[in-house]
Chain A
Amino acid sequence: MSWSDRVDQAYAAALGEASLRDEGFPPLTVEVPADRWVEALAVARDVLGCTFFDWLSAVDEGEGGFAVLCHVVARRTAGVEHLAVRCLLPRSRPVLASAAGVFAGARWHERETHEMFGVDFTDGGALLPMVPLLLPEEFEGHPLRKDFVLASRVAIPWPGAKEPGESEGAPATSRSRRKARPAGVPDPDEWGPR
């Protein structure tokens, strides 16, 4: 039986209609409801033999909330099989049960995901305290969220702001168009110190 068939069968048996196979690009991805996250990871480990925990992180899907992804690997004699398990959390309240009971190494990744995306993790219903991992303690905000403003980009002049024929300190003779703005950077008049 092929790996994708085995994954389909294992998740159909454990979660039934609740799980969904992503037909997109590899690695093979299974979407599961957030409230059955730990159960879905246990299926990967115990039924499919994905004993190697590679990583866990999140994706900011904007209005759609946050997708939490976990990549696990099964060792085979001929090589390895990959599996990604994904669940979607609402933007207003991104809370997920910790996967550390299934893969002990997940705690480190959950701390990073908490720092970068502001996703909270619980153990037995209680919120896990998260000690900062990479960022300084006084850091405010979650830098991998799409709405996080890169302050240095507001402060530093954008090299693309110049028009053709324009130089540092020597503006173009004809200013026909509206000044171009860099993508994803708010106007300094609207954001930052004034």
Chain B
Amino acid sequence: MSPLPARSRGVIALIEENCTSCMLCARECPSWCIHIDSHTETVPASTEGGRDRTRTVLDRFAIDWSLCMYCSICIEVCPFDALHWSPELAAPEGDIRELTHERDQLEAWLASVPEPQPLDERAEPAKEIAAARRAADRARLGRQA
């Protein structure tokens, strides 16, 4: 089989570490096919007199492929790049109830997610890279001084 173009919409891969359970993808999904369950956890204050913080922990992330229309809105809307297209074509299931894939199955597609396309010539570098470079420069200057 000839290789599929890099941006083919095969299946959606999930990077669980990036997901903050913010519900944006589930709310924007026109097909109502994303199911998210999460709970909040209290993180004790790290410094004395500091405030305890709460964070949300993802319990379930599932995509119902029998409803998904491959519109890519969830991937566009995710503020933390937790969702990515993989050109892999999901093997059809024999039963409609098995078309809901849970997060372990969605994470497994990550291996086939292509590298992001290179930036255009003279484009601004990604914010994270620019910030990391500034920090590295500062550290180097500090060592020299």
CB of B40 within 8 A of chain A? yes
> CA A168 – CA B36 in complex, angstroms?
9
> CA A6 – CA B40 in complex, angstroms?
65
Given A158-B32, A170-B39, decide whether A180 and B27 contact each other with a Cβ distance below 8 A: yes
Within 8 A of B (CB), among A142-163: 153, 156, 158-160, 162-163
Residues from chain A with Cβ under 8 Å of B34 in the complex:
159
CB of B120 within 8 A of chain A? no
- CB atoms of A165 and B38 under 8 A apart: yes
A160 contact from B26, B37, B56, Cβ within 8 A: B26
> CA A153 – CA B67 in complex, angstroms?
13
- CB atoms of A162 and B40 under 8 A apart: no
- CB atoms of A159 and B35 under 8 A apart: yes
> CA A123 – CA B49 in complex, angstroms?
83
Given A172-B40, A173-B40, A180-B27, decide whether A164 and B32 contact each other with a Cβ distance below 8 A: no
> CA A160 – CA B35 in complex, angstroms?
8
B29 contact from A159, A162, A166, Cβ within 8 A: A159
Residues from chain B with Cβ under 8 Å of A160 in the complex:
23, 26-29, 32
- CB atoms of A162 and B23 under 8 A apart: yes
Against A, the Cβ 8 Å flags (1 = close, 0 = not) of B10-39 are 000000000011110011110011111111
Given A156-B32, A159-B32, decide whether A165 and B39 contact each other with a Cβ distance below 8 A: yes
> CA A166 – CA B35 in complex, angstroms?
11
> CA A166 – CA B59 in complex, angstroms?
10
Interface residues of B (CB under 8 A from A): 20-23, 26-29, 32-40, 54, 56, 59-60
Residues from chain A with Cβ under 8 Å of B21 in the complex:
164-165
Determine how close the nearest CB of chain A comes to the CB of B78; give it in whole angstroms.
14
B40 contact from A158, A165, A168, A182, Cβ within 8 A: A165
> CA A159 – CA B64 in complex, angstroms?
11
Residues from chain B with Cβ under 8 Å of A168 in the complex:
37
Which B residue's beta carbon lies closest to that of A156? Answer: B32
Pick the most buried of A156, A163, A165: most chain B CB atoms within 10 A of its CB: A165
| Given A160-B32, A167-B59, 8 extra CB contacts under 8 A | A159-B26, A159-B35, A160-B26, A160-B27, A162-B37, A164-B23, A173-B40, A182-B27
Given A158-B32, A159-B32, decide whether A167 and B27 contact each other with a Cβ distance below 8 A: no
Residues from chain B with Cβ under 8 Å of A163 in the complex:
23
- CB atoms of B26 and A162 under 8 A apart: yes
> CA A172 – CA B26 in complex, angstroms?
17
> CA A74 – CA B104 in complex, angstroms?
52
- CB atoms of B26 and A165 under 8 A apart: no
Between-chain CB contacts (< 8 Å), 15 pairs:
A159-B29, A159-B33, A160-B23, A160-B26, A160-B27, A160-B29, A160-B32, A162-B36, A164-B21, A164-B22, A164-B38, A166-B39, A167-B37, A167-B38, A168-B37
Determine how close the nearest CB of chain B comes to the CB of A153; give it in whole angstroms.
8
Residues from chain B with Cβ under 8 Å of A167 in the complex:
37-39, 59-60
> CA A180 – CA B22 in complex, angstroms?
13
Residues from chain A with Cβ under 8 Å of B35 in the complex:
159
